[in-house]
């Protein structure tokens, strides 16, 4: 049977599409339009940064790519590796290699990180092998051993939660990592470790979509592209220097010059 | 972590099966003075026990059905049989157990568990105990572990001294019913300073339909002694109702420790109406670990009466109510003596149209100064139509005490599910993980084999819960 997905795949191959392609994406939640025609292409090993004032739609973009049921795609198309993902369930997207590092990770009582990650990775490793693998990733990120036994995110500090997200990314080795403000709530030491984790992922050819407010993290993770999101649209894209411009001038002036 | 041991490879069929058993004795349905007399006669009981039974029958007959809690008005006491037995003696060797009865308990993994990690095991089907065995070295130390009928014959002095002292027949209608019609159950006596290393286990099975099972358990732990008693239960499923009304009495003497663990997994045509109570004397420690997964309606509130100074109680109960089930459970801690302490933790989950109710009572009597109690109940609802009620009660008649209470009621959150699914877990797996984590405070207290069995049972209940 020739489906719409087959068709899209054929088109994708013909046009040599990027790994993640977002075309004219419009998203609403509770009848409020949030994203108004997003276009974005990300390739393996690239780091794209999305910056923008509060309420511009950054987290909505992250949640929509991952597939949160709260957000409705009113039009537009998202493909990963030529596969249409608009209608896939959250876990199906995850199984294609999409990862979302949460700004506010949920607390899950009574569930340990090891237990959760073993189930998530569908690993053939036995428990001891898996435990050791997680431990080595933890020491790489300088994460305290106690993480492994504690309930997932329960009673974690802001910085600990963020490190835990980066650790999960390291364990799951996604193809596309969307990181929603991984730097908020993190102190300088945590920030360096988070940056280290992101750089490692990039080295392993993970495509990274990084949402942040601050330049701080970008001194450790040099992005390939920086996009400014305002009122649901990408109003300006550039390289690393654009982040510096924002830092110096603030969003307002850029919006004044580029916002429509 | 996963274990492929056959004992742990559980599915619904493992519990819901029937054996075509030949019954040596089956009374006609219904309860009367004559039935009570016949039960006593068939057991060749002493006159004093028959007197107790008849008095209890009077108590049962005149007592109205309780007017609180789940509706029990549709229980038809005349539709069940009050004595039905597949065996005429209690074996202490599985080879002497009637073939089909033995097969049932083999399917349930009892002989295997006994070999692997138990100090003693008992197995009861319908009205009578089929098997009972205690490890020889424990018998040599003076430990008694047998069915209660045997105990009445061999240790009448202990029965006379303790029977009905913790749960009097006048306690409630079903305690009266049990006292009138009791048959089987476990009797445990642990002598002074004997500490039993591995658990003792009793398993209760209902195979036939319209059965009334009234096991009577009495556990006496002497000064400085320790025991962990575990009970499991299950039944073949029928469209008509069965009735399980047990009474459990525990006496924890000075400096003793008792842990009583229950994994209740009755089929959903069983009314499970049970009275469980312990008397805790000076510096003793009593723990109830009570899991209710099966049955149509369960009403059960394990209690500890803290009667000696420095006595401690820990009551941990979990309940899972699936569609059509009511788990009306809870705990009571009553402080009679100074410097006593109790903790009550209840975790319950309701799914589909299931309903859980927590009833907790902490009572501190005048004179029980410097006592402490903490009660917490957490309820989780899986579906929109799931129900949960929390009815805690604190009665404090002494001033110098510390009493705390907390309650939480929650739903499985959309954000929690999204978080777990964003790592590749299906919605079912995500809900199961949340549920497993919710019960963790309970499962971590269980011996490994039972924790795994409990988790499997919950997984079975959770199967196809969504989508």
For residues B459 and B464, what is the distance between their CA atoms, to the nearest angstrom?
10
| Residue A88 forms part of a structural domain | no
Q: Do B424 and A172 touch (CB under 8 A)?
A: yes
Domain boundary (B300, B323, B352) is at B300
Q: Which residues of A touch B (CB under 8 A)?
A: 66, 68-70, 89-91, 93-95, 99-100, 102, 105-106, 108-111, 115-122, 127, 151-152, 168, 172
Chain B residues touching residue A121 (CB < 8 angstroms) = 424
Rg (CA), chain B: 21
CB contact under 8 A, A168 and B423: yes
* B424 with A121: Cβ contact below 8 A: yes
Examine residue A190 and state whether it is found in any structural domain, yes or no. Answer: yes
Residue A4 falls inside a structural domain: no
8-state DSSP, A184: T
CA atoms within 13 A on the CB side of B20: 0
Q: What is the mean pLDDT of chain A?
A: 90
pLDDT at B8: 35
User: Distance of CA B97 to CAs B26, B27, B133, B236, B386, Å?
Assistant: 18, 22, 12, 19, 43
Q: Which value does ipTM take for this structure?
A: 0.92
In a domain, B349, yes or no: no
Residue B400 lies in a domain: no
Helices (H), chain A: 4-15, 58-66, 90-96, 113-121, 127-140, 158-172, 188-203, 240-249, 251-258
Separation between Cα atoms, residue B304 and residue A135, nearest integer Å: 44
- Which of B419, B433, B436 has the CB atom closest to A105's CB atom? B419
**Tens digit of pLDDT at every position of chain B (467 positions):** 333 333 334 456 678 889 999 999 999 999 999 999 999 999 999 999 999 999 999 999 999 999 999 999 989 999 999 999 999 899 999 999 999 999 999 999 999 999 999 999 999 999 999 999 999 999 999 999 999 999 999 999 999 999 999 999 999 999 999 999 999 999 999 999 999 999 999 999 999 999 999 999 999 999 999 999 999 999 999 999 999 999 999 999 999 999 999 999 999 999 999 999 999 999 999 999 999 999 999 999 999 999 999 999 999 999 999 999 999 999 999 999 999 999 999 999 999 999 999 999 999 999 999 999 999 999 999 988 999 999 999 999 999 999 999 999 988 888 999 999 999 999 989 998 999 999 999 999 999 989 998 988 888 888 754 43
Q: Residue A187: is it exposed, middle or buried by C-beta count within 10 angstroms (0-12/13-18/19+)?
A: exposed
Q: Can you tell me which residue has the tokens 């699914």?
A: B421
Which residues have CB under 8 Å from B231's CB, separation 6+? B186, B201, B202, B203, B204, B217, B260, B261, B262, B263
Domains contained in chain B, number = 2
* CB pair distance less than 8 Å for A122 and B424: yes
B404 falls within a domain: no
Average pLDDT over residues A223-239: 95
Name beta bridge partners: A154.
Answer: none
Tell me: the pLDDT tens digits for A31-71? 899 999 999 999 999 999 999 988 999 999 999 999 999 99
* Set of chain B residues whose Cβ sits within 8 Å of the Cβ of A109: 437-438, 440
Task: Choose the final residue of a domain: B243, B277, B300.
Answer: B300
Residue B7 has what pLDDT?
34
Domain residue limits at B212:
6-300
- What CATH number is attached to the domain comprising A166? 3.40.50.300
Among B422, B425, B438, the residue with its CB nearest the CB of A109 is B438
B363 within domain boundaries = no
String of DSSP letters for A14-40: HHT--SEEEEEEEEEETTEEEEEEEEE
Total domains in the fold of chain A: 1
Residue B437 has its nearest CB partner, among A69, A105, A110, at A110
Tell which phi-psi region holds residue B271, choosing left (phi > 0), alpha (psi between -120 and 50) or beta: beta
Residue A152 lies in a domain: yes
d(CA B402, CA A1): 71
Domain ends where: B238, B270, B300?
B300
**Whether residue B190 sits in one domain with residue B48:** yes
A1 pLDDT above the threshold of 80: no
Q: Confidence band (pLDDT; 50, 70, 90) for A142? A: confident
Contact B433, B460 (CB under 8 A): no
Q: Return the number of other C-beta atoms located less than 10 Å from residue B88's C-beta.
A: 10
Higher per-residue confidence, A192 vs A7: A192
Q: How many whole angstroms separate alpha carbon A13 and alpha carbon B435? A: 44
| Residue B330, domain member (yes or no) | no
pLDDT at residue A259, rounded to an integer: 64
How crowded is residue A55: how many other Cβ atoms within 10 Å of its Cβ?
12
Place of tokens 């405070």: B441
Q: Determine whether the interchain pair A66/B422 forms a contact, defined as Cβ–Cβ distance below 8 Å.
A: yes
Contacts across the A-B interface (CB distance below 8 Å): 79
Residue B151 lies in a domain: yes
The verdict on pTM exceeding 0.80 is: yes
Position B3 scores a pLDDT of 35
Q: pLDDT > 90: what percent of chain A? A: 67
Q: What is the pLDDT of residue A13?
A: 53
Which residue has 């009138």 as its token pair?
Answer: B180
Residues of chain B contacting A, Cβ within 8 Å: 1, 413-416, 418-427, 429-430, 433-434, 436-441
Q: Is residue B287 part of a domain?
A: yes
Domain enclosing residue A208, as ranges: 45-70+96-258
Residue A14 covered by a domain: no
Q: Are B60 and B275 in contact (CB under 8 A)?
A: no
Based on the domain organization, do B278 and B418 belong to the same domain? no
Q: Is residue B340 situated within a structural domain?
A: no
Task: Please give the pLDDT value at position A161.
Answer: 93
Residue A160 domain flag: yes
Of B424, B436, B440, the CB nearest to A95: B424
Tokens 């006596």, residue located: B189
CA dist B434 and A146 (Å) reads 21
Minimum distance, in Å, between the CA of residue B439 and any CA atom of chain A: 7
Identify the residue whose tokens are 């420095």.
B310
What distance, in Å, lies between the first and last C-alpha atoms of chain B? 28
Contacts of A256 by beta carbon, 8 Å cutoff, 6+ apart: none
**Under an 8 A CB cutoff, do B425 and A91 touch?**
yes
Distance from CA of A2 to the nearest CA of B (A): 27
Is residue A248, in this structure, part of any structural domain at all? yes
Residues of chain B neighbouring A120 (CB-CB closer than 8 A): 423-425
Q: Would you call B266 exposed, middle or buried from its count of C-beta atoms within 10 A (0-12, 13-18, 19+)? A: buried
Establish if A37 belongs to a structural domain.
no
For position A146, what pLDDT does the model report? 84
Q: Do B65 and B201 belong together in one domain?
A: yes
Cα Rg of chain A, angstroms: 18
């Amino acid at each position: 049977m020739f489906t719409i997905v087959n068709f899209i795949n054929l088109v994708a191959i013909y046009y040599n599409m990027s790994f993640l392609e977002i075309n004219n994406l419009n998203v609403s939640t509770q009848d409020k339009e949030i994203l108004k025609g997003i276009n974005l292409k990300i390739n393996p090993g690239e780091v794209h940064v999305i910056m923008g004032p509060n309420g511009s739609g950054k987290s909505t973009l992250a949640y929509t790519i991952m597939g949160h049921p709260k957000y409705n795609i009113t039009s537009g198309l998202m493909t990963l590796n030529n596969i249409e993902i608009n209608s896939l369930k959250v876990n199906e997207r995850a199984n294609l290699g999409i990862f979302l590092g949460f700004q506010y990770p949920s607390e899950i009582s009574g569930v340990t990180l090891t237990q959760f990650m073993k189930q998530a990775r569908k690993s053939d490793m036995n428990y001891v092998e898996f435990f050791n693998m997680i431990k080595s990733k933890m020491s790489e990120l300088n994460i305290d051993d106690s993480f492994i036994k504690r309930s997932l995110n329960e009673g974690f500090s802001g910085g600990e939660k963020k490190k835990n997200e980066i650790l999960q990314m390291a364990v799951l080795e996604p193809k596309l990592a969307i990181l929603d403000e991984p730097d908020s709530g993190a102190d300088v030491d945590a920030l360096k470790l988070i940056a280290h984790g992101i750089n490692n992922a990039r080295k392993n050819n993970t495509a990274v979509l990084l949402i942040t407010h601050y330049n701080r993290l970008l001194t450790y993770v040099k992005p390939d592209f920086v996009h400014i999101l305002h009122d649901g649209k990408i109003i300006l894209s550039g390289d690393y220097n654009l982040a510096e411009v924002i830092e110096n001038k603030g969003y307002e002036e850029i919006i004044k010059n580029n916002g429509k | 972590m996963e274990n492929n041991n056959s004992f742990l490879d559980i599915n619904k069929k493992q519990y819901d099966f029937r054996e075509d058993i030949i019954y040596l004795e089956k009374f006609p349905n219904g309860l009367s003075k004559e039935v009570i007399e016949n039960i006593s006669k068939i057991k060749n009981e002493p006159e004093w026990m028959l007197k107790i039974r008849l008095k209890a029958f009077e108590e049962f007959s005149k007592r109205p059905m309780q007017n609180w809690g789940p509706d029990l008005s549709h229980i038809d006491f005349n539709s069940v049989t009050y004595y039905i037995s597949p065996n005429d003696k209690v074996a202490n060797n599985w080879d002497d157990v009637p073939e089909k009865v033995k097969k049932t308990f083999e399917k349930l993994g009892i002989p295997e568990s006994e070999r692997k990690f138990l100090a003693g095991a008992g197995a009861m089907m319908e009205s009578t105990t089929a098997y009972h065995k205690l490890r020889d070295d424990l018998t040599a130390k003076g430990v008694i572990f047998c069915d209660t009928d045997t105990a009445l014959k061999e240790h009448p002095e202990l029965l006379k001294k303790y029977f009905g002292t913790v749960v009097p027949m006048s306690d409630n209608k079903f305690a009266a019913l049990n006292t009138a019609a009791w048959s089987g159950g476990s009797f445990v006596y642990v002598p002074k300073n004997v500490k039993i290393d591995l658990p003792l286990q009793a398993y209760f099975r209902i195979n036939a339909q319209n059965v009334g099972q009234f096991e009577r358990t009495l556990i006496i732990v002497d000064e400085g002694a320790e025991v962990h008693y575990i009970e499991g239960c299950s039944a073949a499923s029928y469209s008509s109702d069965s009735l399980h009304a047990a009474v459990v009495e525990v006496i924890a003497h000075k400096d003793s420790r008792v842990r009583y663990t229950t994994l209740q997994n009755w089929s959903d045509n069983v009314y499970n109406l049970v009275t469980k109570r312990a008397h805790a004397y000076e510096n003793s420690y009593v723990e109830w670990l009570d899991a209710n997964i099966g049955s149509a309606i369960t009403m059960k509130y394990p209690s500890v009466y803290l009667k000696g100074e420095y006595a401690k109680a820990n009551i941990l109960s979990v309940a899972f109510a699936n569609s059509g089930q009511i788990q009306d459970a809870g705990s009571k801690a009553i402080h009679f003596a100074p410097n006593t302490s109790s903790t009550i933790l209840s975790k319950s989950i309701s799914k589909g149209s299931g309903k859980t109710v927590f009833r907790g009572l902490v009572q501190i009597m005048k004179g029980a100064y410097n006592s402490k109690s903490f009660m917490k109940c957490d309820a989780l609802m899986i579906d929109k139509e799931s129900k949960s009620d929390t009815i805690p009660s604190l009665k404090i008649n002494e001033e110098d005490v510390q009493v705390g209470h907390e309650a939480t009621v929650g739903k499985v959150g959309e954000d929690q599910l999204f978080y777990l699914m964003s790592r590749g877990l299906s919605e079912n797996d995500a809900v199961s993980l949340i549920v497993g984590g919710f019960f963790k405070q309970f499962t971590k207290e269980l011996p490994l084999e039972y924790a795994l069995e409990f988790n499997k049972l919950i997984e079975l209940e959770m199967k196809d819960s969504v989508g």
